Amino acid sequence: MKLAKAMATVAGMTAVSRVAGFVRDILTAAVLGAGPIADAFFVALKLPNFFRRVTAEGAFSVSFVPIYSAELAEKGDGEAGVFSNRTFSLMLYILTVFTAVAMIAMPLIIKGLAPGFSEDPEKFQMAVEFSRITFPYLLMMSLSSLLGGVLNAHDRFAPFAVAPVLFNLSLIGALFLSDMFESAGAAMSWGVLVAGVLQFALLFICARKMIGYRVKIVRPQITPRVKRLFKLMVPGVIGAGVVQINLFADMIIASFLPTGSISYLYYADRLNQLPLSTIGIAVGTALLPMLSKAMAAKDFVQARDLYSRSLELTLFLGLPAAAGLFVLAEPIISILFQRGEFSAESAQMTAFVLQGYIIGLPAYIGVKVFSAAYWSQQDTMTPVKISAITVVANIAIALSLIPFVGVAGIAIATGLVGWLQLGLLWRPIRKHPDLYVDARFKRGLPRIVVSACVMGAVVFIVRELLGQSFASDSMMKYVALGLAIFAGMIVYALAAHFSGAVKLSELKRNFRRRKV
C-alpha cells in the first residue's frame, strides 16, 4: 500500500532530523550557553520560523497541495505545472519585497518582538544583525514548501522529508566553524541562511530529476485557481496564528509559576513531540496529496480506504508510544537530562508534565488525519473554527488545574483538549457520505487498544522489577531502560498479532509495493 510506504519514508526521515536536532541542541547549549549572544540568536531564529510556520508550512501547504493534486488528477501534468509556476513566481515576487522591507525595518521589528532588548544596546544590535542574516530563510523555505508539495503530489516524499536534516547539519557545521566569525551567534545565523539555500537546492534538483518539473519564472497572473489558493490560505493563516497564540498563552501562564516551570514544559514537550512529529507529520504529509487526488477523481472507494488505513496505522503506532512514554516518563527524563543543574526533583516534575502531555498524544496524532480529510476537500475554515474553540478551552482548563497540580496543569489541559479537538473534528466528518471508517477499522480498533494496554502493563511490571537499576549511576540504568523498551515492543507485537489487531502478512504486503 502506497500510504504505508509513504508514511514510513516520512517518519524515518523525520526521526533522523529529530536526532540531529537533539545533537544540535546539545552543541548549541555548550557553545552559546544562555548569555546575550544566545538570546539574540534565538530571537533571530524565531522570527523567520514564525512566518514559516504560519504561512509556508501551515496555510500554504494545506491550501496548495489539494489544488495542485486536483489539477494533476483532472488536467494532467501540463496544467498542474502552469499553476505551480504561476504560484511560484507570485510567491517569489511578494516574498522578495517583503523580505527586503523586513530587513530594512528590522530595528523596529526587534523592538516589537523583544522590547526588553532596548535596555541592552549591544544585545539589541546583535539581534538586528543576526535577524537580517536569517530572515531570507523565510523566502527559501516558502519556495521549498511549494517544490515539496509538488513532489509529494507525485508520490515522491523522501526529498521534502529529508530537507530538515540539512537544517540541523548546517547549524552543527556552523558551530564547528564559529571561530571564523565574529561570534558563534553570527556563525549560526549564517548557518540558518545556508540551510535554506541547501534545502531549496535539494528540492529544486529532485523535482527536476524525479518528475521532470522545471521551475519557470513567469509574469504573475491572478487566475481563478490562484484566487482559490489565497482564499483557502486566509483561514489557514488564522488557524496557524491561533496555534501560536495557544503556545504563547502556555508560556505566559507558566511565567507566573515557580522558577523552572517553563523549563519543565520545554523538556517534556521535546519528548512528546518526538512521536507526535514522527507519526503525525508522516500521516499528514503522505495522506493529504493522496486523499486530495482520490477526492478530485471522485474515487471514493480509494478515499475511504486511505482514510481508514491512515487512522488504523496512526493508532497502531501512536497508542503504544503513548503507553510506553507514560509508564517510563520518569526513568527516560532522568537518564536524558538529570545531570549538573538538572536535579532529581526537576526530573520528577518534568516527568509529571510529560505524562500530562501524553494523555493527548493519540488524539493529536488522530487530529492530523481528520485535518487532512478536511483539507483534501479544500475546507480550511472548519479546522480553524475548532482550533479557536480549543484555545479558549485549553486556557480555561489550565487555569482551573494549576491550583491543584501546578505547572503539570498546563500539560494536562493540553492533553485533554486534544481529545476535545478530535471529537469536534470527528462529528461533522463522520456524516460525510464518502469519508467514513470501514468495517476493518471498527474491528481492529478495540484490539489495538487492548494490545497497547497489555504492553503498558508489562512495561510497568518490568519498570518495578528493575527499579534499583534505574536509580543506578552506572551503565545499568541504560540497560534497564533498553530492556523495558524491548520487552514492550515484543509484547505489543505478540498481542497485536494474536488478537488480530494487525496481520503480519498485511504489513509485509504493504511494504512490498513499489517505492514512493
42: left (phi over 0), alpha (psi -120 to 50) or beta: alpha
Are 413 and 397 contacting, i.e. CB atoms less than 8 angstroms apart?
yes
At residue 51, the pLDDT reads: 72
pLDDT of amino acid 291: 79
Residue from 335, 362, 320 nearest 455 by CA? 320
Q: Residue 257: helix, strand or coil by DSSP?
A: coil
Contact indicator for 421, 394 with CB cutoff of 8 Å: no
- Please measure the distance between the N-terminal and C-terminal CA atoms of the chain and give it in whole angstroms: 10
Q: Which of 312, 328, 413 is nearest to 365 (CA)?
A: 312
- C-alpha separations of 463 from 326, 457, 495 in Å: 12, 10, 19
Q: CA dihedral defined by 81, 85, 91, 92, rounded to 10 degrees?
A: 140
The grid coordinates listed for 466 are 528493575
- Contact present, 236 and 382 (Cβ < 8 Å): no
Residue that the C-alpha cell 508510544 belongs to: 321
pLDDT of residue 225: 78
So what's the pLDDT on residue 416?
Answer: 94
Helix, strand, or coil here: 354? helix
- pLDDT, residue 2, reads 65
For residue 108, the Cα-to-chain-centroid distance in whole angstroms is 30
- pLDDT at residue number 515: 43
Rounded CA gap, 460 and 243, in Å? 34
Q: Is 495 exposed, middle or buried (0-12, 13-18, 19+ CB in 10 A)?
A: buried
In sequence order, what are the residues at sequence separation of 6 or more whose Cβ sits closer than 8 angstroms to the Cβ of residue 425? 367, 370, 371, 374, 382, 383, 386
Please tell me the predicted confidence (pLDDT) of residue 197. 95
Cell 481528520, located at residue: 370
In the numeric block, the cell 476493518 is attached to 440
Please list the rounded mean pLDDT of every run of 10 residues in the chain (516 residues). Answer: 67 78 71 66 76 64 77 81 87 90 90 73 87 92 88 84 88 88 89 94 92 84 78 67 65 70 76 82 75 77 82 88 93 78 80 93 87 76 84 91 91 92 84 73 90 94 85 79 92 90 62 45
pTM for the predicted model, two decimal places: 0.71
Distance CA 446, CA 437 (A): 14
Residues 410 and 398 sit within 8 Å (Cβ to Cβ): yes
- Given a contact cutoff of 8 angstroms between Cβ atoms, the answer to whether 124 and 112 are in contact is no
User: What's the confidence (pLDDT) of residue 14?
Assistant: 76
Q: How far apart are CA 106 and CA 459, in angstroms?
A: 52
Give the residue among 514, 484, 377 at the shortest CA–CA distance from 435.
Answer: 377
Quote the cell numbers at residue 53.
Answer: 510556520
Q: In whole angstroms, what is the distance from residue 120 CA to residue 114 CA? A: 11
Q: Cα(195)–Cα(188) distance, rounded to whole angstroms?
A: 10
Let me know: does 289 contact 71? Beta carbons within 8 Å: no
**513: enclosing H helix or E strand:** none
Measure the CA–CA gap between 121 and 130, rounded to whole angstroms. 14
| Contact between 329 and 484 (Cβ < 8 Å) | no
Question: 507485537: which residue's cell?
Answer: 493
